[in-house]
Amino acid sequence: MSARIEIVVADITTLAVDAIVNAANEALEGGGGVDGAIHRAAGPELLAACRTIGGCPTGQVRITPGYRLPARHVILAVGPVWQGGTANEAALLAACYDGALALAARHAIRSIAFAAISTGVYGFPVEPAARIAVGTVVGALDAGAAFERVIFACFSERSAGAHRDALLQQTAARERPGPC
């Protein structure tokens, strides 16, 4: 894994990276939480661009320019609404992270910052969401994804702690010796 993974409590709209990943809704119309903050910071051009896309199904991603953000691109990832874990939420959340990384690679993005997708108003529990996010990213990096910097921009210390714990678990799992 050659990329540097950072876990920070930060306003994702202030990060100077190639792309930020927005926790968007299916209509791509902006909303509350991080989605609304990104739309406000990017300016009305982001909403206009999203309207031309025509929406995005849960578990999928789209990309726009960053407009007034320090980030060059916004990747819009539509995470699942938590329904108790019985509606394929884990797979849909992992698909958001996988899709964002694949889309970023196609656009030669080398630095990317992720919001904690689905953990706000969509209600996905923070700890399992962090394990999915970190596990998906580490798996992609281990498989050769060419990113220089991956940031998990968390909205709270609790979220950041869950991401740090998930990263420690991933690191420990990779360092365990295999059977002889």
Q: What is the pLDDT of residues 108-160, one digit of tens each?
A: 999 999 999 999 999 999 999 999 999 999 999 999 998 999 999 999 999 99
pLDDT, mean of residues 157-172 = 95
Query: Looking at the domain 4-175, which fold is it?
Result: Leucine Aminopeptidase, subunit E; domain 1 (3.40.220)
- Residues 179 and 60: their CA atoms lie apart, in Å, by 38
Label residue 1 by pLDDT band (50, 70, 90): very low
**Which tokens sit at 131?**
């394990």
- Catalytically annotated residue among 11, 35, 98, 165: 35
Q: C-alpha distances in angstroms, 153 versus 12, 172, 176?
A: 6, 22, 28
Residue type for position 76: L
User: Is the pLDDT reported for residue 44 higher than 80?
Assistant: yes
- The secondary structure of residue 13, as a DSSP letter, is G
Q: Residue 64: what pLDDT?
A: 98
Report the alpha-carbon angle 49-121-161, nearest 5.
105
Label residue 171 by pLDDT band (50, 70, 90): confident
Label residue 173 by pLDDT band (50, 70, 90): confident
Residues 6+ apart with CB under 8 A from 110: 18, 146, 147, 148, 149
Residue (of 14, 19, 58) closest to 147 by Cα position: 19
Query: pLDDT, tens digit, for every residue of 18-34?
Result: 999 999 999 999 888 99
Residue 35 falls in the annotated catalytic set: yes
Query: What residue ranges do the domains of the chain occupy?
Result: 4-175
Query: pLDDT, tens digit, for every residue of 50-87?
Result: 999 999 999 999 999 999 999 999 999 999 999 999 99
Rounded to the nearest integer, the mean pLDDT of the chain is 94
Label residue 177 by pLDDT band (50, 70, 90): low
Residues 6+ apart with CB under 8 A from 123: 81, 82
* 43: number of Cβ within 10 Å: 13
